[in-house]
Amino acid sequence: MNKAANNRIPTDWNGAIMQKRIAGRYAAERRFKAMGFVAVALSTLFLAFLLFTMLGQGVRGFQRTEIAVDFDFPTLTSGATAASITGANAEGALNSMDLPGIIELAMSQQYGDKGGELLTSAAVANVRQMLLADPQLISGKQRLWLPVDSRLDVAYKRKGEPAAEKTVETLSQNDVLRTGFNWTFLTGADATDPSAVGIWAAFKGSLMTMAITLLLAFPVGVFAALYLEEYAPKNKLTDMIEVSINNLAAVPSIIFGLLGLAVFLTMFGMPRSSALVGGLTLALMTMPVIVIAGRNAVKSVPPSIREAALGIGASPVQVVFHHVLPLALPGILTGTIIGMARALGETAPLLMIGMRAFIPTAPQGFTDAATALPVQIYLWSDEVNQGFVEKTSAAIIVLLIFLLGMNALAIYLRNRFETRW
């Protein structure tokens, strides 16, 4: 055996075989590195593609096509004056004026018998707002720009139905079409006509739901985190609490929806579709996130702080509420914002508790039927009408901007206030 070892020829590292082998190994190394790069690049590309698609379509959702309408107000209203629609009675005076009829008449004078069909249903409200903002308009001939019907809107922006394309072509030649900013989209509510829809009602519903969620999940989450980190004795009950929290953090969100349906709606008889029930359900979902973030933040406060406070005679409760909590608060807030951002984008549990209703006006109270922004996106995505495609993407842009803002705030808080002990 020894003899064989002595007779071994030393490896010829410069020989062709070994060089080839090393080259092969280096090639494998490069391939592996390239695979890693491709993986990261693919993920990034997918994100970029998603955002690009949403942005490309969504931008059109913020625009609307407007048509020029010539109003001869003195004739149309048989002599209404600016004075009659100013002051306290302005709304009533406008109501008694039959604006829809006036607009219909003006349209048919200018664009023929079926002229009224060119406009969207939101046009009446638009004229109303214009008149309220500037009553002087009514005392003369005016050219107002009003939003067109959704079919024409789609045809003007890109390819639409052949009939609508033809109408748009004729109108464009007369130079009576233009693109304007769609304020209705930011201030309106859901509607059956895509050019009259807005996200304000859904957004308000989201805000109200989030308010309830924050109000419940934040105190409960912080208290539970403090208890588990600072006071909890080592026993069966504490173990059970910890297991529950870790488990709840991983339960699919749709299960929380089932819980909300069975307990809040059926057992307690709370109002269906309301922001109150939505907020309660999302609070149960967000609470474990806040507890876990809160525990990490409390854990990172060094023991010397506690010992110093105890040493000068503070009680355990005073130690925690006067010293530990203020120091842990930035970390807790960061976790809370991230949890709230997750709740803001959550859809499935809200579907379960009926927040998918058609909401044509913004909810006034926490028990009114409401919907939320992500649910509104889901509802619009289901619509057959082509006009809803860009509205859905536009609503997604608004949602993403808010989520991005919340996450940026969380990162800022973390960098600004986090202390490295």
Residues of span 229-268 touching other proteins by CB under 8 A = 231-232, 240-241, 244-248, 250-256, 258-259, 261-263, 266, 268
From the list 228, 282, 359, 362, which residue makes contact with other proteins (rule: CB under 8 A)?
228
Name the segment binding other proteins (CB under 8 A); options: 73-81, 101-109, 138-146, 282-290: 282-290
- Structure token pair of residue 213: 């969620």
Cβ proximity to other proteins, 27 vs 308, nearer residue: 27
Residue 14: phi, psi to the nearest 5? -90, -5
Cβ proximity to other proteins, 126 vs 281, nearer residue: 281
Our finding on whether 308 is near other proteins (CB under 8 A) is: no
From the list 219, 302, 326, 360, which residue makes contact with other proteins (rule: CB under 8 A)?
219
Closest separation between CB of residue 389 and other proteins, Å? 7
Q: What is the identity of the amino acid at 10?
A: P
Name the segment binding other proteins (CB under 8 A); options: 34-42, 95-103, 109-117, 142-150: 34-42
Closest separation between CB of residue 279 and other proteins, Å? 15
Our finding on whether 19 is near other proteins (CB under 8 A) is: no
Site for other proteins in 287-306 (CB under 8 A): 287-288, 291
For the chain, give percent helix, strand, coil, nearest 5. 70, 5, 25
Site for other proteins in 139-198 (CB under 8 A): none
Residue 321 CA: distances (Å) to CA of 221, 223, 225, 295: 15, 10, 13, 15
Residue 331 CA: distances (Å) to CA of 17, 30, 294, 309, 325: 59, 41, 7, 21, 10
Report d(CA 48, CA 286) in Å as an integer: 29
Our finding on whether 211 is near other proteins (CB under 8 A) is: no
Site for other proteins in 79-98 (CB under 8 A): none
Q: How many CB atoms lie within 10 A of CB 308?
A: 13
Please tell me the count of residues contacting other proteins according to CB under 8 A.
86
Closest separation between CB of residue 207 and other proteins, Å? 16
Closest separation between CB of residue 162 and other proteins, Å? 22
Radius of gyration, CA atoms only, the chain? 32
Cβ proximity to other proteins, 132 vs 232, nearer residue: 232
Report d(CA 331, CA 411) in Å as an integer: 10
User: Could you tell me which of 198, 94, 208, 39 has the C-alpha nearest to residue 31?
Assistant: 39
Q: What is the identity of the amino acid at 138?
A: I
